[in-house]
Structure formats: structure tokens, C-alpha cells
């Protein structure tokens, strides 16, 4: 019972964070994600995220889903499709 009262608020915060970070559902968004992923796979190299400014949100969603490699090691985020 004490675990519920002590950990309950932390579980609620974690649930809220997960809920806020979910990707919205849209057929249009799904098509754009597939298109951007195909573009990145065709390049087959590490690229700067600044090379695709019009697809920034789609690239971040793809990185969140784990479909592309995302690295911010050298300052400017770089991406590569697997």
C-alpha cells in the first residue's frame, strides 16, 4: 500500500510524459513519413538535418520510432536511414 502512495505520483508523471510524446495519427502524416524515409534511404549516407528543413518534423518522428539513426554528437544533428 505504501508503494502505491509513494510511487503513484511518479507513475502518473511518467504516463503523462509518454502521452505527450506520442505521434499523432494521420493518414497524410503516414504517407509523408514513408516518402521521407524513402528519400533518406535513397541517399544512403549521413546527412545534416539542415539539408531537409521542410521535413524536420517527419525526420524527428522517424528518429523517435527508431527507423533512422540520429546523432547530435558534433553539434548539428545528423541522420542516416538504415
Which residue has better confidence, 34 or 72?
Answer: 34
Q: Which tens digits make up the pLDDT trace of 2-19?
A: 877 888 889 999 999 999
pLDDT in tens, 42-74: 998 999 999 999 999 999 999 999 999 988 887
DSSP 30-41: HHHHHHHHHHHH
Could you tell me the pLDDT band of residue 1, with boundaries at 50, 70 and 90?
confident
* Residue 58: all three cell numbers together: 517527419
| Residues whose CB falls within 8 Å of the CB of residue 8, separated by 6 or more in sequence, listed in order | none
Amino acid at each position: 500500500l505504501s508503494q502505491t502512495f509513494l510511487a503513484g505520483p511518479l507513475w502518473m508523471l511518467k504516463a503523462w510524459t509518454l502521452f505527450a510524446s506520442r505521434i499523432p495519427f494521420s493518414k497524410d502524416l503516414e504517407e509523408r513519413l514513408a516518402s521521407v524515409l524513402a528519400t533518406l534511404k535513397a541517399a544512403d549516407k549521413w546527412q545534416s538535418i539542415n539539408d531537409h528543413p521542410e521535413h524536420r518534423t517527419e525526420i524527428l518522428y522517424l528518429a523517435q520510432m527508431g527507423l533512422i539513426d540520429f546523432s547530435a554528437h558534433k553539434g548539428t544533428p545528423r541522420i542516416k536511414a538504415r
